[in-house]
Each structure stands twice: as structure tokens, then as C-alpha cells.
Amino acid sequence: MIPVDDKPLVRDGKIVILAYDHGIEHGPADFTNMPERTDPEPVFEAATHPGVTSLAVQKGIAEGYYPSYEDDVNLLMKLNGTSNLWMGEPDTAVNCSVEYAVQVGASSVGFTVYAGANNEIGMVEEFREAQERSREHDLPVVMWGYPRGQGVKNASSPDVIAYAARLGLELGADVTKVKYPGSQEAMEDVVRMTGDSKVVMSGGSKTTDREFLEEVKATMNAGGDGVAVGRNVWQHENPQEILDALEAVVFEDATVDTALATAGIEEAHR
């Protein structure tokens, strides 16, 4: 790992990544409840919020939209991805090089590794290349650490999630993004596994504001470094509001109640 506290990805030691790679990972299904968010523009707008430290997108979206936002948004280029149409063992295609990410303006890169899948070896070798090339450009590397595939009996078990976090440290990720392991205590184990590297919680499918923020709060209490969130922000009726609340929890150590109140989120919508 390299020191990343002075990088655009990090603010005051904390990280909030707004993830918008769902068009490739999940496809149109993720846009049905909020069709206007099929358009990347409002999501780039949301990413200008001071509580967002970087926006994670795939190459095509970055090429098309980042030029208008390069002064206001920090770009995290996702270097690999797979569609939901792929029915084989979990695997992911490298679709962008580190050099090209730099050319488009990225200040960090993201890479998915499905530990436990039949092609774990291939994905880790590809990660090695991306990680070492990122070092040449002094770019932080975020690993999407998602164990899944034939070798994984229960991807959501705390032990498996802690293993994913440890792989991030061992393989040279600066930040590892893991699923929430179910409790603050389990998150403390995850954090212990990552040594001096950083760990962020993966947002998950859209839930209530309170439920989402409670998990973020537990992650921060456990010593985690932030969150990488997609649907709970851009599927939200008012991304600005939930980002206000998220900023309060991550950067100001606010309680969930205080954060919801500060953001003006009415009781009925919590």
C-alpha cells in the first residue's frame, strides 16, 4: 500500500465513493424505479457534493461525461467489469488500462477480484499488473473484494468478508471495498485484517435511509474508513439529502438521528 491520505480519493482520512458502474454490472433493471438516473448527468451532478470524495465509473461513461466535471469531481476509473448476462463462474473483463485511465483524468482506479471463483488466479494476475502500473502513476488502487464462485459457500459470512479484506492488504490494494458483514463487531474483525490499508463498506441494494446510515455508522465505529455506495444514493429521490446525511455520519461523526435531521429528511421518509 502507499500513503493515500493526501490523494483526492481521501478527505480527512475518510472516503466516500459514489459508484455508478451498475449499467454494466446489473443492466437496465437498476434504473427501472428511477428511469431519469439512466442518464449519467444527474449522477455526475450528485458527485459534486462535498461529501463525495470520488465517483467510480466505467471507461465509456468517463470519456463521455467527465470532461464537463473534471474541476468538480474526482474520477475513480473502474478497470474491469462484467455484465449480468454472463452466466459462467464469476469473472470479469479488464476493459481499461491504467494508462488510459490517467489520460481520461482518473486520480484513482478500481478493480474487482472474485476470490474463490474458478478464475481467481487469472483475476489476481490481472490485478497485479494494474496495481504495479498504478504505482508508476502514484494512483491509489481500490479493490472491489467480492468472494464468490464455486469455492465460496457463503459469501455474506463475516469470515469470508474478513478474508476478502485481508486479500486486499496482501495483494497491495490501498483501499478494499467489502460487503457489510452484519454487525459492528464483525466489521471490527474486518478492519483488523486490513492493517494500515483502508477499508470501505459496499452500499448494497436500496433500503431505507435509516438502515443504510446505521450500517455506515457501525462501519465507522468499527474503525472503517468510509463507504462506496451506489443505489442508496442515486436511486434516492433526493441524492443531495442522503449525501448531506452521509457526510454528517462519515466526516462529522454524527449520530444517525442527527444526520437525518440535519439533512432535513422527514420522519416519514426515513
Q: Residue 3 or 88: which CB sits closer to ligand FBP?
A: 88
Residue 132 grid cell: 504495479
C-alpha 269/C-alpha 261 separation (Å) is: 11
C-alpha 187/C-alpha 220 separation (Å) is: 9
| Residue of 228, 226, 173, 218 whose CA lies nearest to 195 | 173
H-helix or E-strand spanning residue 257? helix 256-262
Binding marks (x or -) toward ligand FBP, 135..154, rule CB under 6 A?
A: ---------x-x--------
* Contact flag: residue 230 with ligand FBP (CB under 6 A): yes
* Contact flag: residue 217 with ligand FBP (CB under 6 A): no
C-alpha 106/C-alpha 141 separation (Å) is: 11
* Options 78, 177, 179, 198, the catalytic residue: 177
Q: Residue 44 or 146: which CB sits closer to ligand FBP?
A: 146
Q: Residue 219 or 232: which CB sits closer to ligand FBP?
A: 232
Which residues between 2 and 41 bind ligand FBP (CB under 6 A)? 19, 21-22, 25
* Contact flag: residue 202 with ligand FBP (CB under 6 A): yes
Q: Which stretch binds ligand FBP (CB under 6 A): 38-46, 215-223, 228-236, 258-266?
A: 228-236
Instruction: Tell which one of 8, 182, 195, 204 touches ligand FBP (CB under 6 A).
Output: 204
Q: Residue 6 or 153: which CB sits closer to ligand FBP?
A: 153
CB of 77: closest distance to ligand FBP in angstroms?
13
Coil vs helix vs strand at 195: coil
- Is 177 catalytic? The answer is yes
Query: Could you tell me where the beta strands, DSSP code E, fall in the chain?
Result: 15-19, 54-57, 75-78, 80-81, 93-94, 108-113, 141-145, 175-179, 198-202, 226-229
Q: Which stretch binds ligand FBP (CB under 6 A): 39-47, 162-170, 198-206, 246-254?
A: 198-206
Q: Tell me the residue number closest to ligand FBP, measured at CB.
A: 203
Size of interface with ligand FBP, in residues (CB under 6 A): 14
C-alpha 235/C-alpha 107 separation (Å) is: 25
For residues 133-164, b (16+ Cβ closer than 10 Å) or e, as one string? Answer: bbeeeebbbbbbbbbbbeebeebeebebbbbb
- In Å, how far are 109, 129, 131, 137, 174 from 99, measured between CA atoms? 11, 12, 12, 8, 18
* Contact flag: residue 231 with ligand FBP (CB under 6 A): yes
Any idea which residues carry the catalytic annotation? Answer: 177
The residues binding ligand FBP (CB under 6 A) are 19, 21-22, 25, 144, 146, 202-204, 228-232
